[in-house]
Structure 1
């Protein structure tokens, strides 16, 4: 029986952030098709505590606690001429595990989640390789470089340049390169170096609409009283999320509070940086830090916002809020890859003035806001289930499909 090697830059458990949500569902889907062996990293002891969850899915696994600091990785990368992203995830224990699994198990396919892990795929591997880039990391670092100052701007530009070459090289060697949206796939093709003509496909993100269901969901107690409540959810040490909440708290909330003096902006997510914590109390902003369950915060929101100016791929935070039947106000960047209709299943606005105007319109018209929220849930239930989204994986990996016949490669 064919088996699969699954490589991920972060343990897929718990699925409580964007990359883990995708990798967790992909891993579980592949495990339903064939035995799967997993090599991945843990960021901290919290990640390590979820090793039993990994063991319950994987036929075998190697979980390595990543200890190399970003500063050390950057110095090593500068000395070696490699991207920092690769150096930070280089580990002999992962290499040894990969070599052992390939030598002792009937591995017919390798699924690589995130570009950092492509360095572990042997150049002489004869089976199929599917590279899930998710989004275009080199383009992300280009965006960072355009907004940063020296010396960070220089380091980001270097990372973008080196990663772009690496992405092209990897795309040439694998059977399929996956990106999370058609727009991201098109951008990836445009950035490939001359001579590269690989298979580049879009494989979207889904949503667990059974878990994210507003029916019977209690509201977060903190949302009782003052309002209306406007909520942002996300990992709060991620630079695009930081920039998004700073924009909304500092430039949009004053306009909203001029009309709704008791309006609150709830920033919900773990690992808030000092810059995010400094927003506490600014124009009605509340910074929660990590919460046990994000759903009560979504259920109690009058509106959920995603004011990102840098965004790669499908924003899980948007799909989650839509599944919870909340009206979502998003920038064009945050709405990319979600084929919902502006004004019907979500609202799109660009810039502080437009965001404030759209937010006030929704807050004034609760009937319209409720209709958009219900339409949003109907949209994700119909079109964004994980089973349908991940159905192409059997064919891409050359594994037997649900009917028992071997899927076409």
Structure 2
């Protein structure tokens, strides 16, 4: 025992590899808290092979780490997830709160940490209804806002699905603000939304940042064919929507002016429908899939952030600016930046 107060950080996802904005943000916060005012405990799901593969990186995050084994994504898992549409809580919260997760969280809470941090509001679905001691949730986004934006751009039955999930999330986020002692947002804009729209008595901000030594500045590339870059997890619906819109509505305008232009999509799990559409149209688009180091691919002529749906802040914008790459974005893509 160190004599320090204990902080329990509950993550709904395994944090490695650092291939998504939320993982990057959470991992860096944990790294900088370790050795500070708290004795830190991290709880997250992990398969045995993940725990073994990332052992050294995990050790750098917290003084103590515990895991639960996530359910395999079997037919039963998919059926349970589908049943979440009928649940009174949002499907994203329902999906995380299976029995192994709830059991692991209950066991960790029995140890009586002085402060509990729920990473993402959805993590609260894994906790018992009444929380003893101090707690807060770290809101990477205003989740209701994301779901409403999905509803705004959707059509047909999916518009009704997104609208229903947005209503469920609004109730869930309001209850979370009442249930916990505080919320930490990633921008003042989001903190204001939690106070104004969800009744948060205490809403604070940890601004988004990047390591300027890691994402170091480099002079602009010499003249040549323009290469536009996008980085982001391509299994995230908001990125899929944004790039589909960019392909159909924006890229034809770019290609008409600069036929030599190319576009690099850097991120894991690009959907087959998108890669096939780009190929069928003969577009000069390249899909890298997951890369170990985004810097090797991201020093293009410009960074594009063509998002119509999303929330929080986009770490990719900070990374691009740190490297000296111009950013071209929708207003939503740079929302929340100072």
Cα distance, 1:243–1:113 mapped onto 2, change above 3 Å:
same
Distance 1:260 1:77 in 2: 47
**Shift in Å at residue 234 of structure 1?**
0.9
Q: Is the 8 A contact 2:234 2:271 kept in 1?
A: yes
Match of residue 225 from structure 2: 227
**Shift in Å at residue 242 of structure 1?**
1.6
Q: For residue 155 of structure 1, give the secondary structure of its aligned residue in structure 2.
A: helix
Between 17-26 and 29-38, the greater mean CA deviation after superposition: 29-38
Match of residue 97 from structure 1: 104
Q: Is the 8 A contact 2:98 2:126 kept in 1?
A: no
Instruction: Kindly report which structure 2 residues correspond to 1:3-18, keeping only aligned pairs within 5 A, or say none.
Output: 3-18=6-21
Match of residue 189 from structure 1: 195
Cα distance, 1:64–1:48 mapped onto 2, change above 3 Å:
farther
Match of residue 264 from structure 2: 266
Distance 1:56 1:169 in 2: 33
CA displacement 1:339-391 (0-9 Å, x = unmatched): 2xxxxxxxxxxxxxxxxxxxxxxxxxxxxxxxxxxxxxxxxxxxxxxxxxxxx
**Shift in Å at residue 322 of structure 1?**
0.8
Distance 1:6 1:97 in 2: 12
CA displacement 1:228-262 (0-9 Å, x = unmatched): 11111111121221222223333323222223221
CA displacement 1:151-200 (0-9 Å, x = unmatched): 322222221111111111110121211221122223333432xxx45212
- When normalised by structure 2's length, the TM-score is 0.87
- Tell whether 2:188 aligns with 1:199: no
Distance 2:41 2:243 in 1: 39
Cα distance, 1:212–1:203 mapped onto 2, change above 3 Å:
same
CA displacement 1:117-170 (0-9 Å, x = unmatched): 112344544422121122111221122122223432222222111111111111
Q: For residue 304 of structure 1, give the secondary structure of its aligned residue in structure 2.
A: strand
**Shift in Å at residue 273 of structure 1?**
0.5
Cα distance, 1:24–1:287 mapped onto 2, change above 3 Å:
same
Match of residue 368 from structure 1: none
Distance 1:73 1:44 in 2: 23
Paired residues, number: 329
RMSD: 2.8
5+ long unaligned stretches in structure 1: 340-409
- When normalised by structure 1's length, the TM-score is 0.73
5+ long unaligned stretches in structure 2: none
Among residues 43, 47, 53, which one is paired with 1:49 in the alignment? 53
Cα distance, 1:48–1:178 mapped onto 2, change above 3 Å:
farther
**Shift in Å at residue 333 of structure 1?**
0.6
Structure ID, larger Rg: 1
- Tell whether 2:63 aligns with 1:64: no
Distance 2:127 2:333 in 1: 32
Distance 2:304 2:184 in 1: 28
Cα distance, 1:100–1:271 mapped onto 2, change above 3 Å:
same
Q: Is the 8 A contact 1:11 1:63 kept in 2?
A: no
Distance 1:216 1:50 in 2: 34
**Shift in Å at residue 46 of structure 1?**
5.8
Cα distance, 1:99–1:336 mapped onto 2, change above 3 Å:
same
**Shift in Å at residue 285 of structure 1?**
1.9
Q: Is the 8 A contact 1:235 1:270 kept in 2?
A: yes
